[in-house]
Structure 1
Amino acid sequence: MSKRDYYEVLGLERSASERDIKKAYKRLAMKYHPDRTKGDKDFEEKFREIKEAYEVLTNAELKARYDQYGHAGVDPQMGGGGGGHQDFSDIFGDVFGDIFGGGGRRQSRAQRGSDLRYNLELSLEEAVKGKNVEIKVPTWVSCETCDGSGAKPGSKPQVCSTCHGQGQVQMRQGFFAVQQTCPTCHGQGKIISDPCSSCGGQGRVQKNKTLSVKIPAGVDTGDRIRLAGEGEAGAHGAPAGDLYVQVHVKEHAIFERDGSNLYCEVPIGFATAALGGEIHVPTLDGKVKLKIPSETQTGRMFRMRGKGVRSVRGGIEGDLICKVVVETPVNLTDSQKELLRQLDSEMEEGSAKHRPKETGFFDGVKRFFDDLRS
Structure 2
Amino acid sequence: MSQREWIEKDFYKELGVSSTASADEIKKAYRKLARDLHPDANPDDSKAEERFKAVSEANTILSDPEKRKEYDEARRLFASGGFGPRGQGGGGFNSGGGGFDVSDLFGGGAGGQDSGLGDIFGGLFNRGGQRTASPNRPRRGKDLETETTLGFREAALGETVPLRITSPASCTTCHGSGAKPGTSPRVCPHCNGTGVINRNQGAFGFSEPCDDCRGTGSIIDSPCDDCHGSGVTNRTRTITVRVPAGVSDGSKIRLKGKGEAGLRGAPAGDLFVNIRVRPDSVFGRNGDDLTVTVPVSYGELVLGTTLSVPTLEGRVGVKIPAGTVDGRVLRVRGRGIPKRPEGAGDLLVTVKVSVPQNLDDAAIEALETYLEAEKASGFDPRAGWAGV
TM-score of the aligned structures, taking structure 1 as reference length: 0.69
Post-superposition shift, 1:223?
4.5
Q: What SS does the aligned partner of 1:11 have?
A: helix
Residue identity matched to 1:172: N
Q: Are 2:176 and 1:131 equivalent residues in the alignment?
A: no
Alignment partner, residue 77 of structure 1: none
Letter in 2 for 1:272: E
Q: Which of the residues 331, 334, 338 maps onto 1:310? A: 338
Aligned match of 1:361 = 385
Of residues 279-288 and 24-33 in structure 1, the stretch that sits farther from structure 2 once superposed is: 24-33
Aligned residues: 306
Unaligned runs of 5+ in 1: 1-8, 52-87, 367-374
**1:158 is matched with which residue: 171, 177, 186?**
186
Query: Please, which moves more after superposition, 271-280 or 295-304?
Result: 271-280
1:92 paired residue among 113, 121, 124: 121
Partner of 1:283: 311
The Cα shift of 1:331 comes to: 3.4
Residue 120 of structure 2 aligns with an amino acid whose one-letter code is: I
AA matched with 2:347 = L
Deviations 1:115-155 (A, max 9, x none): 22332322232233333332212222211211211122233
CA distance in 2 between partners of 1:214 and 1:14 (Å): 38
2:13 is paired with a residue of what secondary structure? Answer: coil
Cα distance in structure 1, aligned partners of 2:171 and 2:298: 70
Helix, strand or coil for the counterpart of 1:121? Answer: strand
Distance, in Å, in 1 between the alignment partners of 2:278 and 2:144 is 22
Shift of 1:104: 4.7
Amino acid at match of 1:35: D
Q: Does 1:325 align with 2:352?
A: yes
Unaligned stretches of 5+ residues in structure 2: 1-9, 17-50, 62-67, 78-101
Cα distance in 2 for residues equivalent to 1:38 and 1:272 = 79
How big is the alpha-carbon RMSD for the aligned residues of Structure 1 and Structure 2?
3.7
How far apart in 2 are the matches of 1:326 and 1:347? 19
Aligned ranges for residues 1-374 of structure 1 at < 5 Å? 10-14=11-15, 27-29=72-74, 35-36=104-105, 48=116, 51=117, 88=118, 90-94=119-123, 96-98=124-126, 104-312=132-340, 314-332=341-359, 336=363, 340=367, 343-344=370-371, 346-348=373-375, 353-355=379-381, 358-363=382-387
Separation in 2, partners of 1:200, 1:175? 40
- Amino acid aligned to 2:147: N
**Distance in 1 between the 2:263 and 2:380 partners?**
79
Q: CA shift at 1:267, angstroms?
A: 1.1
Distance 2:183 2:356 in 1: 84
Structure 2 CA distance, aligned partners of 1:208 and 1:37? Answer: 45
Whether the 8 Å CA contact 1:142–1:148 is kept in 2: the answer is: yes
Distance 1:102 1:122, change over 3 A: farther
Percent identity over the alignment is 36
Q: Is the 8 A contact 1:146 1:152 kept in 2?
A: yes
Q: In the alignment, residue 292 of structure 2 is paired with which amino acid?
A: C
Distance 1:138 1:327, change over 3 A: same
Higher helix share: 1
Q: Deviations over 1:217-273 (max 9, x none)?
A: 344445544433222110011111223334333222111123332111111112222
Helix, strand or coil for the counterpart of 1:211? strand
SS in 1 for 2:216: coil
* 1:268–1:37 Cα change, 3 Å: closer
